[in-house]
Chains A and B, each alone.
Chain A
Amino acid sequence: MSLQQAFAHALLTPDATCPEGMFSSNGADPASRFAVYRNNVHSALINALVAAYPVTRQLVGDEFFHAMASLYVQAHPPTSPLISEYGSTLAAFIQRFEPASSVPYLADIARLERLRVRAYHAADRQPLDQHSVLQQLQGCTQLGQLRVRLHPSLETLESPYAIVSVWAAHQTDGVIATLNPWYAQGALVLRHGLAVKVFAIDSGSVTFINRLNQGAGLELAIADALEASAEFDLHQCLTLLISHDAITHLHLPPKVSP
């Protein structure tokens, strides 16, 4: 084992001793000083998770979150120096983490919080101004074929739990009134200007937006949305997208000659 391999191994392995070949010039036990490195590594990574998952942490409390994050850090240390991306697999870890099973929506809240981080750092793209979106929609003779490109920050999430309501209830201080998390809810996350926003949407809207993102035309996206939920409200969904500058491009597919 190389010197750095042994050092890295000792940093990440629970209760590992100080790697050999290290010394303190005053003769102090190297382990008492190696502990500084170990603590630096673990506390910085746990703090990165604390910053990225504030509601996940609130739902289980500081102590539980720290213990869980510590196990995650040992099992899944970063594989990139881009710490803003660290923790992208925390939700999957929580899903399998038995002690967290008493909060069944915890993993989906973590998924939602990850989408918020991704939206915050997502690429910039100039949205179409709202007036020109409306003009193009009204003037288009082949509306059903229209392709709608959405902002790079925009993502959806579906959950069997009311994740947006749970998340929103933790955005203000004070006592949380009775909250029913036991119903299905979809989430839309996007960055509007510099601010990341979260909206509760129905499963029809989730399908509609996902189909648009996959390049489907309006007609097909609407049909699939209605299949997902008979209550899908196109007007409401488009209004939400347009009013938050989520549409960056409208175009018709290139004509294919017969």
Chain B
Amino acid sequence: MMTPTSPYTVSPTQVPGLPLRAGLGLKIEHFTQVLETCPDIGFFEVHAENYMVAGGPFHHYLGLIREQYALSLHGVGLSIGGEGALDREHLARLATLIERYQPQSFSEHLAWSSHGPVFLNDLLPLAYDATTLSRVCAHVDQVQSTLKRPMLLENPSTYLQHQRSTLDETDFISEVIRRTGCGLLLDVNNVYVSCINHQRDPSAYIDALPLHAVGEIHLAGFAEDTDSLGDRLLIDDHGAPIDNAVWQLYEHVLTRTGPVATLIERDNQVPPFSVLQAEARQAESYLSQVAR
């Protein structure tokens, strides 16, 4: 068996990280309310790219909120699965943000989003074969050595599959984690969305993942459409409450992993803060059931 190529052989769950509680995505709509009411939230998560600006309100508010809360920095633009080299300028911007805010966690996606000079602003599906595997591992290694910390890699939601794929998504993810020592950001909604879209059993998908490496969980809502056969086509739009089926799958995950920092994601049709807080409380009630 090959030894991991990365210096990060410690499981991310053993590194002091996010509190084992529910957190919320920090939305600009809620900056002042968070500062004025100091809600009891386990942590906040922000999209790294939104804070790659020189100054102004974003840094002002995040600086104040960071003084009081744990922080997860979540990248959406690194294109880790891209055919080309990683954008070094973008990596340098990430390093600067991490230096400034000292987040408890940094995560990115198992997807690609840039090709050549064009940034497509979406998380696009990868062909799971040996070529992609070595490329993704090299990119994860580069990220971890540049940022000098282990990262979490998020499982994707997908609508189509590549004929070129020779590995199952779960095997691909397991191998990246084994080779690079990165952790898993287990997006339970993505699991559900992809499994419905590709006719897989979500519980079996979960059970095929290296659950010891889970450093954070994402929960979100999806939109529903149909494909040319009239079959359900779920779309990961972060614009709705978390579906019951996803809550059930989350409960299943927790029985396997024990408590894990859990983020409620809502990026579209952002409701009042109290609505998100209620979802966070619901997640914490599941977390408390598995607390050891």
Report yes or no: B118 in contact with A78, Cβ–Cβ below 8 A.
yes
* Interface bits B32-62 vs A (CB < 8 Å: 1, else 0): 0000000000000000011011111111100
Chain B residues contacting A48 (CB-CB under 8 Å) are 121
A25 in contact with B161 given A36-B235, A81-B76, A124-B55 (CB within 8 Å): yes
Stretch at the interface among A2-10, A107-115, A209-217: A2-10
A32 in contact with B228 given A4-B115, A5-B115, A37-B159 (CB within 8 Å): yes
Within 8 Å of chain A (Cβ to Cβ): is B66? no
Within 8 Å of chain B (Cβ to Cβ): is A256? no
Stretch at the interface among B1-9, B82-90, B176-184, B251-259: B82-90
Within 8 Å of chain B (Cβ to Cβ): is A33? yes
Report yes or no: B49 in contact with A120, Cβ–Cβ below 8 A.
no
CB contact list, A169-194 vs B, under 8 A: 191, 194
Report yes or no: B163 in contact with A26, Cβ–Cβ below 8 A.
no
A4 in contact with B54 given A26-B231, A36-B159, A81-B49 (CB within 8 Å): no
Report yes or no: A120 in contact with B118, Cβ–Cβ below 8 A.
no
* Interface bits B219-235 vs A (CB < 8 Å: 1, else 0): 00000010111010101
In the complex, residue of chain B having the shortest beta-carbon distance to the beta carbon of A7: B124
Report yes or no: A37 in contact with B122, Cβ–Cβ below 8 A.
yes
Within 8 Å of chain B (Cβ to Cβ): is A23? yes
A22 in contact with B119 given A28-B228, A31-B228, A194-B56 (CB within 8 Å): no
**Bound: A78/B122 CA distance, A:** 11
Within 8 Å of chain B (Cβ to Cβ): is A230? no
Report yes or no: A191 in contact with B127, Cβ–Cβ below 8 A.
no
Report yes or no: A81 in contact with B113, Cβ–Cβ below 8 A.
yes
Report yes or no: A25 in contact with B198, Cβ–Cβ below 8 A.
yes
Binding site for B on A (CB under 8 A): 2-5, 7-8, 11-12, 18, 21-34, 36-37, 40-41, 44-45, 48, 77-84, 119-125, 152-153, 191, 194
Contacts A4-B124, A22-B160, A33-B160 known; 5 new A-B pairs at CB < 8 A: A12-B120, A36-B225, A36-B235, A78-B119, A81-B79
